[in-house]
Amino acid sequence: FPARPVLVKSTMLAVLVEELKKTGHQAAPADHCYAGPEDVVCDFCTERKLKACKSCLQCLASYCEKHLQPHFEVAPLKKHKLVEPSKKLQENVCSRHDEVMKMFCRTDQQSICYLCSVEEHKGHDTVSAAAERTEKQRELEVSRQNIQQRIQDREKDVKLLQQEVEDINGSADKAVAGSEKIFTEMIRLMEKRRSDVKQQVRSQQQTEVSRVRELQEKLEQEITELKRRDAELEKLSHTQDHNQFLHDYPSLSPLCESTHSSSFNIRPLRFFEDVTAAVSEVRDKLEDVLREKWTNISQRVTETRADFLQYSCDITLDPNNANTQLLLSDGNRKVTNMGKKQSYSSHPDRFTDWWQVLSPESLTGRCYWELEWRERVCVAVAYKNISRTGSGNESGFGFNDKSWTLDCYNNSYIFWYNNVHTPVSVYLDHRAGILSFYSISETMTLLHRVQTTFTQPLHAGIWIGSGSSAELMTQNHLIPIVTRYTVKNRCS
């Protein structure tokens, strides 16, 4: 102004001052009303700051209950937009024009003020922040509906899995009880076999329950994650500040991949029913049981080959660690002891004295592979840090605490670990600490099972005797269930 204007009374400010005077002599608020380090403080408290109960998007200030009253009583202030207390009010102000950002640029996906829309964002697809909020709110509701549906689906799947656990346990208990009753009648001749059947049923029961529990745990974790995500979306959906909503919306983490129901199979209720029938047959033909029928009982309680094929993995052999007397062929899947040194380059990982070779692939989780062999071989798993030099126990499969091996020769099997042998197809569940050896022909027979704790990833290994050979089967060869060669042996 070139000259001092005539000043007039501001009616709005006068009313505000009068209201403040009326409330100025009230009793001091309780301690819980004072603002703490994490609270939004009232911008109008002059002494000790009180907690803000609302923030105004027009005033860009926060108010306690006392200082908020004019917004309910003064006509111009009643039109202001009040939201929950926020420390981010200044983020609503355009740093370039110092104006409240009431627009949204869809082209650049950012909040802007009106001046931005006619300057640097001119020609862009711009709408009001309220309009963009409405659009995003619809998307949010669709996302919530999808999440809630997935929660319902997963909860239903969990109930199905829980029912399967109960069926497994019930069937196993029934099988054990029936077996116990039958074996009691021939206790003097079949005491050992009774214990074996019980052990196999319980072992399979544990395996089945572990499988279902693992799926159930994954689904429950997914439900928890979905509920957490739904809570985030619900919280965001109630955000009254459009700009804050638009600022936080893109930062939401994407949903994890769903564990669909098709990723597991609910098996029919026939887990252990055949066990009792098989034991009844044993009771009637005791002599046959002692010579022939025991294998039949064992097969009915243990897993079928089809159960393991879902965990099959392609394994090769590493030419960098193969003993120089071993020849690798067929894509490094077959190994033969040639009886003379082969043309290998020098490598620090090579076994110098033992006729051994390891796979380059590390094995974790559940893994299944099959091996065809001639003469004499040892099927093994070992830690990568097993010794490679010298002829001592520290580098031989089964003679140390870094490897487990099954010695196969003339249809007899001996299991070795840490230089201790146990007279007795490979299945490995690394997490559960289960290592199983099976013989495969027209049927699948468990040779030996180890329950331990694996502290490192494992590698498949083979020891090859003089004049012997072994070949790892590919996944394509695992599909048909047939006897491959009468002159060969096959194990998994």
CATH number of the domain encompassing residue 415? 2.60.120.920
Question: 329 pairs with which residues across the strands?
Answer: 334
- Same domain? For 192 and 156 the reply is yes
State residue 487's pLDDT score: 28
413: in domain:
yes
Other Cβ atoms within 10 Å of 337 Cβ, number: 21
- Same domain? For 450 and 471 the reply is yes
- Same domain? For 473 and 341 the reply is yes
Of 68, 85, 102, the domain-final residue? 85
195: in domain:
yes
pLDDT tens digits along 356-383: 999 988 887 788 888 888 888 888 999 9
- Same domain? For 228 and 207 the reply is yes
Contact 191, 288 (CB under 8 A): no
> How would residue 323 be classed by pLDDT, with cut points 50, 70 and 90?
very high
Instruction: Provide the domain limits for residue 68.
Output: 31-85
- Same domain? For 155 and 243 the reply is yes
- Same domain? For 438 and 366 the reply is yes
Residue 52: strand, helix, or coil: coil
Q: Which residues of 157-183 are buried (b: 16+ CB within 10 A; e: fewer)?
A: bbebbeebbebbeebbeebbebbeebb
469 has pLDDT over 60: yes
- Pairwise CA distance, residues 347 & 321, whole Å: 7
State the chain's mean pLDDT as an integer: 80
Domains identified in the chain, total number: 4
- Same domain? For 323 and 175 the reply is no
Residue 490: strand, helix, or coil: strand
State residue 418's pLDDT score: 85
- Same domain? For 101 and 165 the reply is no
Number of C-alpha atoms within 13 angstroms, CB side, residue 361? 13
- Pairwise CA distance, residues 264 & 219, whole Å: 11
- Same domain? For 438 and 334 the reply is yes
329: in domain:
yes
149 has pLDDT over 70: yes
358: in domain:
yes
Q: How far apart, in Å, are the Cα atoms of 421 and each of 5, 398, 402, 414?
A: 108, 8, 15, 6
171: in domain:
yes
- Pairwise CA distance, residues 123 & 470, whole Å: 72
399: in domain:
yes
Of 219, 251, 283, the domain-final residue? 251
- Same domain? For 341 and 466 the reply is yes
Mean pLDDT for the stretch of residues 39-60: 87
223: in domain:
yes
- Pairwise CA distance, residues 340 & 323, whole Å: 11
Q: Which residues of 51-82 are buried (b: 16+ CB within 10 A; e: fewer)?
A: bbbbbbbebeebbbebbbbbbeebeebeeeeb
Q: Which of 69-78, 260-269, 309-318, 414-423 has the highest mean pLDDT?
A: 69-78
Task: Identify the CATH number of the domain in which residue 80 sits.
Answer: 4.10.830.40
276: in domain:
no
pLDDT tens digits along 397-440: 989 989 988 888 776 778 888 888 765 455 566 676 778 777 77
Reported pTM? 0.38
State phi, psi for 29 to the nearest 5 degrees.
-70, 160
- Same domain? For 322 and 471 the reply is yes
- Same domain? For 333 and 466 the reply is yes
